[in-house]
Amino acid sequence: MVLIHIFAGLLAIVAGAVALSVWKGGTLHRRSGTIFVYTMLVMSGTGAGMAIVKAISLSPAPLGLKLQGDAMGGLLTFYLVVTALLTVRPPAPKYQWVNVAANVAAFAMFATACYWGFEALGNPNGKRGGYPAAMYFIQGSIALLAAIGDWRAIVLHGLRGAQRLGRHLWRMCFAMFIATASLFLGQTQVFPEELRKPLLLAAPVLLVIGALLYWLVRISVPRWRPAARRPASIPTAATGAPT
């Protein structure tokens, strides 16, 4: 399971980098995005699953508490990818329960992260399971922001235009941010010693943030928004004229 988690994570980072770099809506973007979605689901799902199983067996030891925080990160990533995918899929009333369930899960993650954050603040070292309170509050803030967005989409029966693209974009990019930060900043020991330089390892993480900001600006300004690609004209059977 660890090998599956590692392989899926590496493939997700490569596919995500391609999807962020190429023209949005094109064939390469769709294919690399599909690979990114499914590998991220495998990576975050296996990571959260392993952390939950180990945390149950080790709690309330410090390592068990740390693994609870790891599980929260995996579940939050899984949730962001699923809801980002649902955003660009055609709305289907029979799957509305998925959006409602995701919304409930997001509010639950927000409440849990805040509870753990206040637990950390109550400890002498300001940490819970080795993680500072700020990390839990950041996770909770992301979950709350996403939950409010989910609720808005449910009430409006879906989003349109730039709002729809923005919702898809920031959730996918934040999931990519978690994946790159987990590897380049959280697993520095896997890199050769010559590459273990803070600025060098932080570069991929900063690039993801830069790409997110760039595309958010592009879709927010109408005249900068990428135009949708139109299918090639197809001659009609009767006249041969393009349709």
38 domain residue, yes or no: yes
**Contact partners, residue 6, CB within 8 Å, separation at least 6:** none
Let me know if residue 111 belongs to a domain. Answer: yes
User: Which is nearest to 20 in space by CA: 221, 207, 162, 166?
Assistant: 207
Q: Give the C-alpha separation, 32 to 15, whole Å.
A: 5
Please report the DSSP string for the chain in residue order: -HHHHHHHHHHHHHHHHHHHHSPTTSHHHHHHHHHHHHHHHHHHHHHHHHHHHHHHHHTTSHHHHHHHHHHHHHHHHHHHHHHHHHHHSPP-GGGHHHHHHHHHHHHHHHHHHHHHHHHHHHSTTSEETTEEHHHHHHHHHHHHHHHHHHHHHHHTTS--HHHHHHHHHHHHHHHHHHHHIIIIIT-GGGS-GGG--HHHHHHHHHHHHHHHHHHHHHHHSGGGSPPPPPPPP-B-TTT--B-
Q: Identify whether 238 is part of a domain.
A: no
Which residues on neighbouring strands pair with residue 242, listed in sequence order? Answer: 235
Q: Is residue 136 part of a domain?
A: yes
Q: Which residues of the chain have pLDDT under 70?
A: 90-95, 158-159, 222-243
- 229 domain residue, yes or no: no
Question: How high is the pLDDT of residue 233?
Answer: 42
pLDDT of the residue at 195 = 86
Q: Is residue 77 within 8 Å of 179, Cβ to Cβ?
A: yes
Structural domain count, the chain: 1
- How far, in Å, CA of 163 to CA of 160, rounded? 6
**Is 190 contained in some domain?**
yes
Report yes or no on whether pTM surpasses 0.85: no
The domain of 41 spans: 2-223
Residues 239, 232: Cα–Cα separation, whole Å: 17
User: Measured between alpha carbons, how far is 148 from 129 in angstroms, rounded to an integer?
Assistant: 29
Sign of the C-alpha dihedral, residues 148, 154, 156, 158? positive
Furthest CA-CA distance within the chain: 81
Looking at the domain assignment, is residue 236 inside a domain? no
Residue 129 lies in a domain: yes
Q: What is the pLDDT of residue 56?
A: 85
